[in-house]
Every structure is written in structure tokens, then in C-alpha cells.
Chain A
């Protein structure tokens, strides 16, 4: 057991603040109770804390001088290296100093580094297009290791940056990561190839998707509001995206595919540049490019054509409707 609460400092840079606003929706228990009852203490958080201005800078000083132990530095938003390597696209207010420099200094004092969201992990949407701000993640620049802290970085605990990727993050991806750190329950082996916590990244968005029957028969949605599988036409990457969105659920009973739209694989580096319009599946000779994870291509093609041929009328018709037009038939399942 720890002899004092896990201290957490939270900084924001080149992001939208959405991972924080999402985290405020934590449930069972709520955010404040989650933190208090699991021994997590926020030293400062931009949205939650009383301190502003000079009071905050005094806290940074205490951390940098070693007077205030820092167990976790959470960073939300990408780190901006531009223009021309100056970092001036985000100078931390009140200091005139690039936020990326503050992050590097504070990172050296932190037991653990947590990248909250895909921006802080890999660069994310802020790094899209021509990336004029030269945005990157804490330890990645897209798929390349490196980023603001460099590929060799290890925090004082010996762990690399923990990438709680997602755009936004699910509230409890963040709270559970912090709880595991408070419990000494997160080792390097608990992170996946992109340093995401495996407790949520070892699942696929496809798992638990309510459109699974449509997927099985390749009964596809053709337009927005259709009920069918969105893999063939609508750009859905749920069979390849690492996250537990359809088993954990969002804001009560939600998920992207339950909300009627494609999974865009937002927990992955470079999801922001899929190489095709987000809501459109790229195809080659009429066949969607991008196989379900771990599926051999020949088998997928064979199974898909068989499945399409075997599609029940009910599934086929519902797939292109915005509500169930043909209900499943009712029959007695008792045997004997």
C-alpha cells in the first residue's frame, strides 16, 4: 500500500479539452468519488482546481525543486514544436514559455507520465493535414516513436509514457489507469505495442457491436441512418480498432456504432489521416480494402461471398432501413 495519495498534475496543450470534459462524466462512482476513494489526489487540474495564475506557477516551482513529489504527470493535447522549433504556438499563459518545455521539465520529476487522449499520445487531429504547428505526442510522432520526450524516455518509475489513446478518451480509461498506477498495478507488459493500457486496448470495437448480425451476413448500410453493417460502405473500422467501446459503453448506453456512425479507429496513431474520406470505405475492384484484424484475406473473401448469398431476407431488408422493418420470427426453442 502507498503511504500517501497518488499526486497528479494535469496539463493541457494542443488539444480540445474533450478528454477532460469526457472524464467529468465518470460513473459508478462519479469522478470525484473515484479519485478520493482510490487514493488519488489532484495537485492541480485546469478545470477543477481553485488555484489560478501565480498560485499555479508556485506549485510548478515546488515540483521542480523537489519539494512537492509528483507521482503522475497527465498531459492532454498534443505538444506543439512549431513554429520553427520554438514551441511558440503554445506558450503557457503567464510564463511566456513554451508549454512543451514545461512538460519536458516536469516530466523529469514525475514518477509516471500519462498521455491522455490520442493528441497527447501520438499527435492526433492537431497533427492532421500539413501539420503547421508541428504537433506530436509525448513519445510518438504519429506511428513513429520519438515525439516530445524522445523514444528512449522512461519516467522515474521506469515505465515509458502510458498512452491512454482515444478521441476522446472514455472517462474510465483514464480513471482506471490512474487507479492501477495508485495500486502499483500497471507494468510494462500491461501496455500494448503502441503503449496503450491493454485493459481496454486488447479488445476490438467490433466486440459487442449491435450490428454484428449484419456483419456476419455482410448486410450493409448504404447511407446514414441505415441499420446495417458499416464496414462495406460507410468507412467503419470497428473490426480493426483497439478499444472496448461496445462492451464498456459511453454516456450510459452509447457507442459510435450504436449512435449510427462508423468507428474511425480514434485510439490509433494517425487515425486523423485515414487516406480516404472518413465516412467512406475505400475499395479495390468493388472489394473493401482493410480486413478484419487477424483474418486471412482469402478466407474473408470466401466467407463474405458465402455469407452474402446466405443473408436472410429479414437481415437484408433491415440493413438499409432506419428501424426494424422485419422482426425476427418467433419460434419455440425447446427440444423434445
Chain B
């Protein structure tokens, strides 16, 4: 399975099953001179949801699409509802938009929490770090499935999901989100209950994760501010992470292309998004044009390897006999180039000054990706409080419409891990085409028609590998810094 890394000709290492990611993942590494010289990312599970959706009644997508992913379930539901709203020409009323935002935010914040506490931090509590000055603290707080912070986070997450219980009936796999809004109205009692749940989560962030008032987190706007927090800040888990990141130089680990994409998160009933839609590449902001998206199958085990596929004309025909493809994942490209997506892209494109500064200094890396997620948790929690107060208790929740026999539309939203799109074609009243591009499809894509590696494949190049390491820790940090969701990736 593995060969000892050393000097001389490149050796190969296959890492898997790669856990504490959502789903199954295999990473093949070529190692030269104590560092990764090339990486190949394999998403080893194929289920075929795009094919499952074809031929069904369009509204069945609201049942099927969320089940692509038990982690980003509400996001999948939202993308499906937006695509259906597009073909039906529906616009959800204000309350429908706000209730959907609340459900989306709950899931996204909970995912960030799961990522930090259950998936990412436990790697620093491994015995390989026993000699570091911060180890005792990390072990106590973040030992996998045991640490005190892990337990506190699980409890906070469970309580936070009561929002989904109330608004969505359950999580995952709610069917509350409809093309015309939401199927469950909120009354005044529900609203105060929801405010109390958000308030309790707000308190968890302040007492455990940050150890400081949320306003202080929201005020972080420069690298100096962040350095000050690391040196003199409160003793929460955020500062502990900053300490580790400084000690291990995580800001210089896992840089990819520094090209970013965000579909825009949390639509405002008055237009626009809480976190802006757009792209950022080569140092410039630009609008996002979904028409410039195409998927390459060159190294996917899929038919159609010779050309790019625009999603509305896309196909999903797996080829189990193909030996050249090394992943079931397709390679989405925007104007022919790989893009990174996720909290760092959202906050960067939205213009968050601290994230802008961090990316300007060292790009997206293990440290800045994690910082972006933590800051976003604070920002989104604050936004939830505003949405709850913005609900019009006397207003409508859901509008109805007819299904056309022929139409097409895109549903664009942001899952915790980044840009999620559903390209829906309806013909003769049934689903004729349904192509899904999920965040980790972008981030963990294989090489494209030009042989250009996907963002993770690029981010792994240069990662140090210690002699005797079978599952290099640096590789684990980089992979988990993206918070991959493998079940979304291939779907």
C-alpha cells in the first residue's frame, strides 16, 4: 500500500480511507525530496443522483436532491427550490426568504462547527505533536470524540438544530423549502423561541469558541488585530488555533490558485445577498457568469472525456471500465480555469477586510481558510438575529404556481463549503436534465482537459512529508482545511 518516502526518484503514497471528511476520499501522492511533488484526488463513490432525477416529476427534486447529502441537505434543497422557482417563474415572499435563510444559516454554521471541532482540530491532538507547547491544551479540548470543546460543540450544535426542528420539521432532509417559499408559518411564539435558540448559540460562541463578545470578533479587520488577539486575546479555542497556526506556520501550507468563486449567500428579500456573489482572481473582483461554467471529464470515469460540457447540456454516464480516469468527480472550470470556493471565497468576495488582508499576504491556506470559517460563524449568527426580527408575522409564507411543460433554470446557492449549483431542464413536464456542481466538486476536482490539477491537487504540492509517515499530517491538515463534503462532490 505504501512506500517509504525518501530522496531520489519519486515514491508513491496512497492515503485512505481518509476520515473526518464527509464521505470517502482517497489521495494519491508522489513524493520527492521530503515533499509532495504531485497529488491526485480520487472521489471513490459514485451514486448517480443526476440520473435518478431524470424522468421524474420536477417537484420530486425537492425530495431527492436533499438526499444527495446528509450534511449539506438544506443547501441541496435550497438549490433545487431555486431552480424550480426559476422554471415556474415564482418569487418567494419575504417571510419565505427569511425562513429559508434561517434554515440555511443553521446548517452552514453547524457544518462549520462540526468541521472545526470534530474534523479539523483533533489532528493537532495526535501524539505526533506531543512535544509542542500547546499540546496539553489541545489534547484536553480536542481529542477526537472526547475533548471538552468537542463535547461542548456537539451540545451547542444539537441545540442549534432545534431551529430546523421548528422551521423544517427535522434535519437533515426537510421538505419545508418549496419553490414559492416555506410550508410552515412562524407565529409570535415560534419567533421568541427561535430568538432564544439563536441567543443560546450566540452565548456558546462567546463563552467557548471566542471567549469574547461577538462584537469584538466582528470588529477584527486587520492582520494586526489578529496578531493582537493571538498574543493578548481571550483564552478561547479561537486563540488556541491562532497559536497552533503560528507555531506550525499553517499560513504557508496548502496554497492553491487564489482564484475564488461565490454564488452569493443568503438572498435579501430586498435584492442582493448578505454575502455578495462574484469571483476574485489574479487580484481582481469580477461578476460571476454561470454561462462560463463547464465540466471536463478528461480524468473522470465518465463518457465524454474529449470536450468541456456546459451544465445544461451535461451528461452523467459513468464508465466503470475506464482506466485513465482516476476519480468519479468531474472537473468544473470557470472560463476554463479551476476556482476555489468556500467560506474564504465568500468572505473575500464580500470584502471582509481581514480576509482580504490575509489572502493578499499568503493566499488561501490552512490558516486563512479556518479563520474565514470562524469569522463567518460570528457574522452569520448576528444576521440570524436580524432575520428573525425582520419576519412579518401577518405576511404570507408561500406562493403557488404551475409547472410549465418546457423550461430551464439554474438554482445557485452557497452551502457551507461554497458554491452549489443545480442546472434543471424540464421537458414534457418531466425532468429532462439535472446537473449538479457542488462546492467540493470545484475544490477536489481531478485534472482537466489541459492537465491542470484541481485546487486541492495544487494545494498539496510542496506539503512536507516526514520519513515513515503513511498518512502525512501536513496532507491531512491541507485536505481538512477545505472541509470536503465527498457525498456532494460526486452525488
A-side residues, CB < 8 A to B, are: 12-22, 24-27, 30-32, 42, 44-57, 80, 82-84, 86, 88-95, 99, 125-126, 128-130, 132-133, 135, 167-168, 223-225, 245, 249-262, 264, 266, 272, 277-280, 322-323
Q: List A contacts of B24 (CB < 8 A).
A: 12, 46, 90, 92-93, 99
Closest to A54 in B: B470
- CB of B19 within 8 A of CB of A167, answer no
Check B2 for interface membership: any CB of A closer than 8 A.
yes
Q: How far is the CB of B49 from chain A (nearest CB, A)?
A: 8
Tell me how many residue pairs across A and B have CB atoms closer than 8 Å. Answer: 275
Contact of A251 among B15, B62, B146, B161 (CB under 8 A): B161
- A21's closest neighbor in chain B, by CB? B70
Contact (Cβ within 8 A) A17 B71: yes
Residue interface mask B42-73, A partner, CB < 8 A = 1? 10111110011111110110111001111101
Q: Given that A125-B67, A132-B51 are contacting pairs, would A260 and B172 also be in contact in the complex, using a CB cutoff of 8 Å? A: no
A255 touches B71 (CB 8 A): no
> In the bound complex, do residue B187 and residue A323 qualify as a contact, i.e. CB atoms below 8 Å apart?
yes
Whether A260 and B19, one on each chain, are in contact in the complex, defined by CB atoms closer than 8 angstroms, is no
Instruction: Please indicate the chain A residues that have their CB under 8 angstroms from the CB of B122 in the complex.
Output: 50
- Report yes or no: B145 in contact with A32, Cβ–Cβ below 8 A: yes
B57: chain A residues within 8 A (beta carbon)? 277, 280
Are A46 and B19 interface neighbours, CB within 8 A?
A: yes
B129-168 contacts to A (CB < 8 Å):
143-146, 150-151, 154-155, 157-158, 161-162, 164-168
How far does the alpha carbon of A266 sit from the alpha carbon of B70 in the complex, in Å? 14
Residues in A whose Cβ lies below 8 Å from that of B176: 259-261
| A246 CB, nearest partner CB in chain B, Å | 10
- Asked if B17 and A18 sit within 8 Å, CB to CB, the answer is no
- Name which of B4-12, B230-238, B360-368, B393-401 contacts chain A: B393-401
Q: Which residue of A90, A94, A250, A272 contacts B1 across the interface (Cβ within 8 Å)?
A: A94
Query: What are 30 A-B contacts with C-beta separation under 8 Å?
Result: A17-B71, A17-B487, A25-B171, A32-B145, A46-B17, A51-B19, A52-B18, A53-B471, A80-B45, A83-B320, A95-B17, A126-B52, A129-B52, A133-B48, A224-B180, A224-B183, A225-B181, A225-B185, A225-B398, A251-B161, A252-B165, A253-B165, A254-B168, A255-B169, A261-B175, A261-B176, A277-B59, A278-B62, A279-B59, A322-B185
Q: How far is the CB of B313 from chain A (nearest CB, A)?
A: 20
Q: Are B145 and A323 in contact (CB under 8 A)?
A: no
Interface centre among B16, B26, B125, B470 (most CB of A within 10 A): B16
Q: Are B17 and A94 in contact (CB under 8 A)?
A: yes
- On chain B, the residues within 8 Å of A82 by CB distance are 320
Bound: A144/B258 CA distance, A: 51
Is B157 in contact with A24, judged by CB distance below 8 angstroms? Answer: yes
Interface presence of B25 (CB below 8 A): yes
Distance between B276 CB and nearest chain A CB, rounded to angstroms:
29
Cβ of A83: which chain B residues have Cβ within 8 Å of it?
A: 318, 320-321
With beta carbons under 8 angstroms apart, the residue of A49, A99, A253 that contacts B19 is A49
Chain B residue at minimal CB-CB distance from A90 = B45
Contacts of A53 in B (CB 8 A): 15-18, 470-471
CA distance A268 to B158 in the complex (A): 27
What are the residues of chain B within 8 A of A84 when measuring CB–CB? 320
Residues of A within 8 A of B180 (CB): 224
Cα(A50)–Cα(B139), bound, Å: 12
Given A24-B157, A30-B158, A251-B170, list of 5 further CB < 8 A pairs? A47-B114, A50-B125, A260-B176, A266-B173, A323-B187
Does chain A have a CB within 8 A of B312? no
**A254, B169: Cβ atoms closer than 8 Å:** yes
The 10 closest A-B CB pairs, nearest first, are A18-B70, A259-B169, A94-B16, A93-B16, A251-B165, A260-B183, A254-B165, A83-B320, A93-B26, A260-B184
- What residues of chain B lie closer than 8 Å to A258, measured between beta carbons? 169, 184
Known: A17-B22, A18-B73, A52-B18. A42 touches B318 (CB 8 A): no
Pairwise interchain contact B164-A22, C-beta atoms closer than 8 A: no
- Could you say which residues of chain A place their CB within 8 Å of the CB of B277? none
Min CB distance A1 to B, Å, is: 24
Query: Complex Cα distance A56/B20, Å?
Result: 12
- A302–chain B nearest beta-carbon distance, Å: 31
Partner of B52 from the list A16, A128, A260 (CB cut-off 8 Å) is A128
Knowing A20-B70, A129-B52, the reply to whether A253 touches B162 (Cβ < 8 A) is: yes
* Residues of B close to A132: CB separation below 8 A: 48, 51, 318
B336 at the interface (CB under 8 A from A): no
Bound-state CA distance A88–B154 (Å) is 35
Bound together, the chains give a CA A225 to CA B176 distance in angstroms of 9
Residues of B near A125 (CB, < 8 A) are 52, 64, 67
Interface pair A17/B23, CB less than 8 Å apart: yes
C-alpha gap A30/B168 in the complex (Å): 21
A46 and B20 contact, Cβ closer than 8 Å, known pairs A253-B162, A278-B59: yes
Distance of A193 Cα from B24 Cα, bound (Å): 32
- Residues of B within 8 Å of A99, CB to CB, are 24
Considering only CB atoms and an 8 Å cut-off, how many residues of chain B contact the other chain? 89
Within 8 A of A (CB), among B310-328: 318, 320-321, 328
A18 to chain B, nearest CB (A): 2
Instruction: Provide the residues of chain B in CB contact with A254, threshold 8 Å.
Output: 164-166, 168-170
Q: Say whether, besides A47-B19, A49-B144, A255-B170, A14 and B51 are in contact (CB < 8 Å).
A: no
Which residues of chain A come closer than 8 Å to B125, judged between CB atoms?
A: 50
CB contacts (< 8 Å) of B173 on chain A: these are 18, 167-168, 266
User: Is there contact, CB below 8 Å, between A18 and B169?
Assistant: no
Which B residue's beta carbon lies closest to that of A221?
B183
Q: Is B158 a contact of A322 with CB atoms below 8 Å?
A: no
Task: Determine how close the nearest CB of chain A comes to the CB of B60; give it in whole angstroms.
Answer: 5
A12 touches B183 (CB 8 A): no
With A20-B70, A49-B145 already in contact, the answer to whether A12 and B23 are too (CB < 8 A) is: yes
Interface centre among B44, B168, B176 (most CB of A within 10 A): B44
Judge whether A279 and B320 touch: CB under 8 Å. no
Q: How far is the CB of A131 from chain B (nearest CB, A)?
A: 8
B443 neighbours in A (Cβ, 8 Å): none
Q: Which residue from A17, A128, A250 sits with its C-beta under 8 Å from B169?
A: A250
**B174 is an interface residue with CB less than 8 A from chain A:** yes
| Residues in B neighbouring A262, C-beta threshold 8 A | 175
Instruction: Report if A32-B170 is in contact (Cβ < 8 Å); known contacts: A18-B73, A48-B118, A260-B176.
Output: no
Q: Check A50 against B144 for contact (C-beta < 8 Å).
A: yes
Report A268 CB to chain B, min CB distance, Å. 14
Cα of A89 to Cα of B125 in the assembled complex, Å: 34
Answer yes or no: B210 CB below 8 A from chain A CBs. Answer: no
Given the complex of chains A and B, what is the CA–CA distance between A215 and B36 in angstroms? 64
A residues within 8 A CB of B150?
32
In the bound complex, do residue B16 and residue A322 qualify as a contact, i.e. CB atoms below 8 Å apart? no
Residue from the set A27, A126, A251 with the largest chain B CB neighbour count within 10 Å: A251
Closest to B22 in A: A17
